[in-house]
Amino acid sequence: MEYRIEHDSMGEMKVPADRLWAAQTQRSHENFEIGVGIETMPKEIIHAFGVLKKAAAITNNKLRPEKMTDEKLGAIIAACDEVMAGKLNDHFPLVVWQTGSGTQSNMNSNEVIANRGNQILGKTLLHPNDDSNMSQSSNDTFPTAMHISAVLILEDKLIPAVEELIATFKRLEEENEGIVKSGRTHLQDATPIKFSQEISGWRSSLEKDVELIKRAVDPLRELALGGTAVGTGLNAPKGFDTGVAEEVTKITGKQFVTASNKFHALTSKDELVFAHGAIKALACDMMKIANDVRWLASGPRDGLGEIFIPENEPGSSIMPGKVNPTQCEAVTMVAVQVMGNDVAVTMAASQGNFELNVFMPVCIYNFLQSARLLAEAIVSFNKNCAVGIKANKEKMHHNLHNSLMLVTALNPYIGYENAAKTAKKAFKDNISLKEACVELGFLTAEKFDEVFHPEEMA
């Protein structure tokens, strides 16, 4: 491998000749061989750095044109556009497990943008610290990248995924409106419910989750940029913070504002904890829905068998013909991961000391993983399972009329205790509710038929 020599304030470093990073990135790359190639800084953070560095350069050009010249600005914008497009992802090798402020990833961005800008210019003009990082500090850029990436992934990936599944459930509600089935509570038979009503519970849960996530997005629109090292804004010109927020808004098409208190913005991660709580709520509901679906589809002969779901792949290496509810299982595993991530996000956010939180990389790594995995699992579940859910009407009808809890309809006519006696006798003697009620002398056969209508109980 060929190398070139780069230097920083600590001296010279050998850097692979074909890479755009420089000395500080190389030091981190060598000093933190933890999860290399697996747990690298999320691409969403790299994209967000492209956004904020572009916004900062544009604002600096307006406020400090003598330092951020038009020539420098053009080169930085071109490099940042490539970063945002993902064209330079191979030049961001750093792992999550680095300094807790994300300083090395900020410098990774500074070095790549400066070196790529110089390539575009055909000369050495840009300096990573003096130009790419002008008016900034790692301490305000990394939390800014966290908020930008969080807003983008929630609004552009997670919410749309949930809304697609909501649309599927709405269609299934309409298709299954007239079907009545046995309800279940405590995994025991309960009074009847329409299948459409059961689906509406799934749909409404997801609608509530989307509402909660949208509420959680708004606090994330506040950006720390402009606070620089400790929140005082040292070395940033007046108006830089508001100017950057305006430029980030233009670049992303999302509304962003400068944080009203930069001391809070640098050290507290409460907005991310709150938003991840909404993600966790969605994970909880998806766990419930996926479990409902696989229970209802259990069988094919010895389970509930009340719905059919798509058969996507063989389910066993030894049992021929076995098909498993794999999409449901994937969703439940992702839900467990999200719940675990919530602990990591919570713990990371609690570790702010004085003017800075130093658990930021692990905080946003888990946050973004939760949003990404959950979005992709929901898309997969919708496409490969939910859209193909079909009611097994015959099995639903059989289970409905075999349920002892239909005896609840008799309460107004024979009372709770006599109804309980009827149900217990029917179960013990393995006879119908009608036979038990008549044998106990509570109702005549004719009166029983007059008042007993399971389909009307939903």
Active site residues: 186, 316
Q: Give burial (CB, 10 Å; 0-12/13-18/19+) of 237.
A: middle
E strand map for 74-142: none
Q: Give burial (CB, 10 Å; 0-12/13-18/19+) of 165.
A: buried
Distance of alpha carbon 263 from alpha carbon 359, whole angstroms: 16
Distance of alpha carbon 234 from alpha carbon 226, whole angstroms: 8
* Pairing mode, strands 257-258 and 222-223: parallel
Distance of alpha carbon 348 from alpha carbon 23, whole angstroms: 28
The closest of 92, 66, 67 to 79, measured between CA atoms, is 92
- Close Cβ partners of 408 (under 8 Å, ≥ 6 residues apart): 191, 419, 457
CB 405 within 8 A of CB 433: no
CB 248 within 8 A of CB 193: no
CB 44 within 8 A of CB 104: no
Centroid of chain to Cα 169: 20
The closest of 374, 414, 449 to 423, measured between CA atoms, is 414
**Which DSSP string do the residues of 132-183 spell out, in sequence order?**
ITTT--HHHHHHHHHHHHHHHHIIIIIHHHHHHHHHHHHHHHHHTTT-EEEE
CA distances from 99 to 32, 66, 359, 362 (A): 9, 33, 8, 10
CB 209 within 8 A of CB 282: yes
Q: Is 34 helix (H, G, I), strand (E, B) or coil?
A: coil
Token pair for 319? 């049992």
Torsion angle of alpha carbons 68, 70, 75, 77, nearest 10°? Answer: 80
Centroid of chain to Cα 428: 49
- Close Cβ partners of 365 (under 8 Å, ≥ 6 residues apart): 39, 41, 42, 96
